[in-house]
Structure 1
């Protein structure tokens, strides 16, 4: 079980894969990305279209087309991916999904979850898409299960 929705998990894995492959100007096709991140191709195509429309990844059509990043794109925070796919609930929402949860009206998990949520929010806002490229290229990190 992951922290994010399945849609967001596929999106994050795909973004890391595309970022890794973009280092030499390579553009990735949807079939390649889906195979490498163990995602259903049609489902991933919709996710990547959503990320492309949000301006988070670049795409080019044609025989040499595909998805890719430029240097500016690699500097975007991971939180931008999550926001584009799942919205900002993970950064602001209640652990139990209660709409009225707040400091004045806390759920049973509020105080402890708030600490964890703050750490996750900080990490996702300060970590860039390109941060892990060197380790991915060396095979020190994995994107498949």
Structure 2
């Protein structure tokens, strides 16, 4: 459903949020290991997300990535829009360019409800909630 870049971005932001809630900063090696991602790839993703304000970063010996209170309020939908665009929430289920209410594809009427349900679920899925569920061991990021 998401691109590989988007999957890694979501997992990395949740991981950073959980590991930095005590004020610490997390390095790329730890993040890559913690979410089973290639180090170079996740570094590139997080640098981009840092420039865009989705995660904070600091350089130096005590540097690394961390999240502030504003970042904890991000939804998965915010991340998806930034990485993959809006296609998941508005695109045609068959990938057609001209699909619309006035000119529907064969699955348009059924798919629009699925798209809407996904959007509502992802809008309500906040980073802070994932951190709380991880802390309670209700969910996991890595086996």
What 5-or-longer segments of structure 1 have no aligned partner? none
- Hey, which bits of structure 1, 4+ residues long, moved more than 4 A? none
Q: Which residue does the alignment assign to 2:89?
A: 91
Q: How far 1:138 sits from its partner (Å)?
A: 2.9
Q: Which residue does the alignment assign to 2:108?
A: 110
Q: Which residue does the alignment assign to 2:24?
A: 26
**RMSD value, Cα:** 1.2
Q: How far 1:127 sits from its partner (Å)?
A: 2.2
CA–CA distance in structure 2, aligned partners of residues 114 and 54 of structure 1: 30
Kindly indicate whether the alpha-carbon contact (under 8 Å) linking 1:50 and 1:84 is maintained by their aligned counterparts in 2.
no
- TM-score scaled to structure 2, two decimals? 0.94
Given the alignment, which residue of 42, 45, 48 partners 2:46? 48
- TM-score scaled to structure 1, two decimals? 0.93
Within 5 Å, give how 1:116-135 maps onto structure 2: 116-135=114-133
CA–CA distance in structure 1, aligned partners of residues 56 and 43 of structure 2: 13
Q: How far 1:140 sits from its partner (Å)?
A: 2.3
What 5-or-longer segments of structure 2 have no aligned partner? none
Q: How far 1:139 sits from its partner (Å)?
A: 2.6
Q: How far 1:91 sits from its partner (Å)?
A: 1.0
